[in-house]
Chain A
Amino acid sequence: MTDLTPSAKRKQARLIDLAAYLPEKILSNDELASLYPEWPAEKIYSKTGIKIRHIAAEHETAADLAYEAAMALFARGVVKPDDVDFIILCTQAPDYILPTTACVLQNRLGIPRHTGALDINLGCSGFVYGLSLAKGLIETGAARCVLLLTADTYSKYIHPLDKSVRTLFGDAAAATAIVAEDSDFESIGPFVFGTDGSGAKNLIVEAGSFRRPVDSESSVEQIDESGNVRTAENLYMNGAEVMTFSLKEVPKAVDVLLEKTGYTREDIDFFVLHQANKFMLEALRKKLKVSDLKLPICVENCGNTVSSTIPLALIQMRERGQFIPGVKMMLVGFGVGYSWAACLLKF
């Protein structure tokens, strides 16, 4: 029977801890500059804001990175493997076509068998989507402790001579714990979502799945007008189109979410955007008309780590002491799909 007494509190989802893992191997700007002489190391840094990227080892998969991030989370002692009753893994580099990588991780991580587990295939918007699923599971009473893992190894898709993407992307994983709390305080949400599949071709690994299986033609190298080399099996990004999409859709999503919440830009303490690179974040910051203090840029030591950029930024902000009661953040993920999502996160 439903408890309708005035004191009954709702189950609210709350983000209680985060941890991350960056693979050991490092790719520096000096190394990239030696491959692309027209882009000196200083230019790469000044434009992208990135000094180094971490790169997964040859036999290290996104699931391995997710495993390490989850172990780092458990080592912090806030959440134990036994607490988890749902695993969401966001990745675009699964271990297998089947089974689901999240199921494999349940066993590796020693998480109980009464746990639900699923993969979601999203890129840079994935963390915010993962939070929305975690909130839904918790606030409908379906789960009490969701382990949200974000992990990707785009480096494995990138041609070594494609500077347009190799300078930007790094590999990483993050583990986020979202738990049920009896409270009247909505910590996560509301959300806004967006999708425009007409942009699919602008950020894509075309060959290697069923629409275009790998064959002798898919591995033929092509050189584009900027001198970048890639095959159809590699990651392709049309930077101009992705920039245009981001400048159009991110400010709109921010405005729609502000309208939904009744807050103004001034009420939001931090706009934690997907950490694509410095020039995109600065362009968005100008368009959003917010100060640089309110829009953190956390790419220097990891680059664009796809679905892990927002949790990595949150970890840096926690280290700076910015997780204080009352703080209001807006998280905005956007990219491959095109897919985007924004939500509020309050402490």
Chain B
Amino acid sequence: MSKFYEGMAEIFEIDLSEVKPELDLQTAVWDSLAIVSTIALVDDCFNIMLDGKSLGSCVTLADVEKLIEAGKKG
């Protein structure tokens, strides 16, 4: 997960130590640019393409990680 967490820290422009499953995405600014950047990051890290609508309804980083896990299985 480290490359993914580093990428998320870059997207949200926050310290890596703040990137954890309970991170509140809205507080970190979960806007269209962040969602688009996350799609590219997840594709790069896991070769999984998430859809923007599902990402948009995520509340915490754990929700994004659940989508990634579902993508790995699916």
Contacts and interface: CB of A to CB of B under 8 A. Distances in A.
Interface of A: 38-39, 43, 47, 164, 225-228, 238-241, 243-244, 247-248, 279-280, 282-283, 286-287
B36 interface: yes
19 contacts: A39-B33, A47-B33, A47-B37, A226-B31, A239-B52, A240-B32, A240-B35, A240-B36, A240-B39, A243-B36, A244-B51, A244-B52, A247-B40, A247-B49, A279-B33, A279-B40, A282-B40, A283-B44, A286-B44
Interface in B26-74: 29, 31-33, 35-37, 39-40, 43-44, 49, 51-53, 55-56
B43 A287 contact: yes
B35 to A, nearest CB: 5
Contacts of A38: 29, 31
The DSSP consensus for interface residues of chain A is: helix
Contacts of B43: 247, 283, 287
The DSSP consensus for interface residues of chain B is: helix
A287 B41 CA distance: 10
B13 interface: yes
B44 A244 contact: no
A247 B49 CA distance: 9
A240 B40 contact: no
Contacts of A39: 33
A243 B43 CA distance: 11
Given A240-B51, A240-B55, A248-B49, A164 B32 contact: yes
Contacts of A243: 36, 39-40, 52
B23 to A, nearest CB: 18
Contacts of A244: 39, 49, 51-52
A43 B32 contact: no
Contacts of A164: 32-33
A111 B61 CA distance: 60
Give me the 8 closest cross-chain CB pairs, A-B, nearest first. Answer: A240-B52, A283-B40, A239-B36, A226-B32, A243-B36, A226-B31, A239-B32, A286-B44
A283 B33 CA distance: 13
Nearest to B41: A283
A240 B31 CA distance: 11
Interface in B1-44: 13, 29, 31-33, 35-37, 39-40, 43-44
A38 B13 CA distance: 13
B44 A287 contact: yes
Nearest to A238: B52
Contacts of B56: 225, 240
Contacts of A287: 43-44
A269 B56 CA distance: 38
Contacts of A47: 33, 37
B63 to A, nearest CB: 16
Contacts of B32: 164, 226, 228, 239-240
B58 to A, nearest CB: 12
B50 to A, nearest CB: 8
Contact of B52 (A227, A241, A282): A241
A47 B32 CA distance: 12
Nearest to A38: B29
A297 to B, nearest CB: 15
Contacts of B40: 243, 247, 279-280, 282-283
Contacts of A226: 31-32
